[in-house]
Amino acid sequence: MEPVWQVGPATVPVHGLFVALGVFAAMLVFIAEARRRGAVNEQSVVAVAGALVGGAIGMRLSGWAQHLDFSANPSLAQAWQFGSRSILGGLLGAYLGVLVAKRLGGYRGKTGDLFAPAVALGMAIGRIGCHLTEAPGRPTTLPWGIHAPATTPECPGCVAGQAMHPSFLYEIAFQLTAFAILLWLRNRISHPGELFVIYIAGYAAFRFLVEFVRANDTVWLDLTRPQWFLLPSLLIIGIRLWYGHRHGYYRPAARNQEVPV
């Protein structure tokens, strides 16, 4: 696993490269979907800007509140410079960024349906960088276990030469599957904004389960920090899905009915 690639005289950070490619791919999908729905306007541009700014801030600061004892946490400046760059923090920051940008711009329309497939594809590409540079997962005896160099940061199993779960490959497979399903559902869901709800629900459930084979440290009751973050989130999302189901949000759209944005 190489954290950087040497391309002639240039040094390219592998993780940053695939994150940038993921963001670029997500923007292309967002623009294509906005054009398909006739939603290319100033409001959609403002929403994208809010997502990018909020996502960057959330990812950078996600490592700030790691401990219940706040004196053990880094300062905001340290978290910004050396933060864990959590995907969950980035998603939360992007969501809040869109809400703030829309409120400042006075836009009340739904934009989640535009973001859902774009985020899924962008995440799949970005996770390639994680697979190439980070500790893959916990040790396993399964035949598809992979080995990583002993120089991989924060990976005792790598030093011991153990086979480990390819947890990032699991996530890449999930995100590509989610991308395909969201494209299939986009004309079949009758209520605006529900594609994003479905994607977030699916990813939250998947991420909670995949944490059991990832290399993250457990903090209490054999659960990791992301899992403790996801537990109340899953409850809220479950209530939201139940509400949508009760109100008929997931009934198939009429064949000739155009799904609103």
Residue 181 has pLDDT above 80, yes or no: yes
Whole-number Cα distances in Å, 37 to 41, 44, 49, 182? 11, 12, 19, 15
Residue with tokens 């053990």: 72
Structural tokens at position 75: 């300062």
Provide mean pLDDT across the span 183-205: 87
The H-assigned helical ranges of 62-86 are 76-82
> What's residue 260's pLDDT?
43
8: left (phi over 0), alpha (psi -120 to 50) or beta: left
The residue with greater pLDDT, 237 or 54, is 237
Which of 83-87, 91-95, 107-111, 253-257 ranks highest by mean pLDDT? 91-95
What are all long-range contacts of 70-74, with beta carbons under 8 Å and residues at least 24 apart?
none
* Range of weakest confidence among 87-91, 156-160, 217-221, 239-243: 87-91
The Cα 125–Cα 116 span in angstroms is 15
Contact in structure between 100 and 55 (CB atoms under 8 Å): no
More confident residue, 107 or 1: 107
Q: How far apart are CA 66 and CA 70, in angstroms?
A: 8
pLDDT at 99 over 90: no
**pLDDT tens readout for residues 58-77:** 666 655 555 444 455 555 55
The pLDDT value given to residue 193: 81
Tell me the CA distances in angstroms from 53 to 75, 231, 250, 254, 255, one per residue in order. Answer: 20, 26, 31, 37, 38
Q: How many residues does the chain have?
A: 261
Helix or strand (DSSP H, E) at 218:
strand 218-220
Helical spans, DSSP H, in 186-254 = 194-210, 225-246
pLDDT on residue 192: 81
**Residue 59: per-residue pLDDT:** 64
- Mean per-residue pLDDT over the chain, rounded: 79
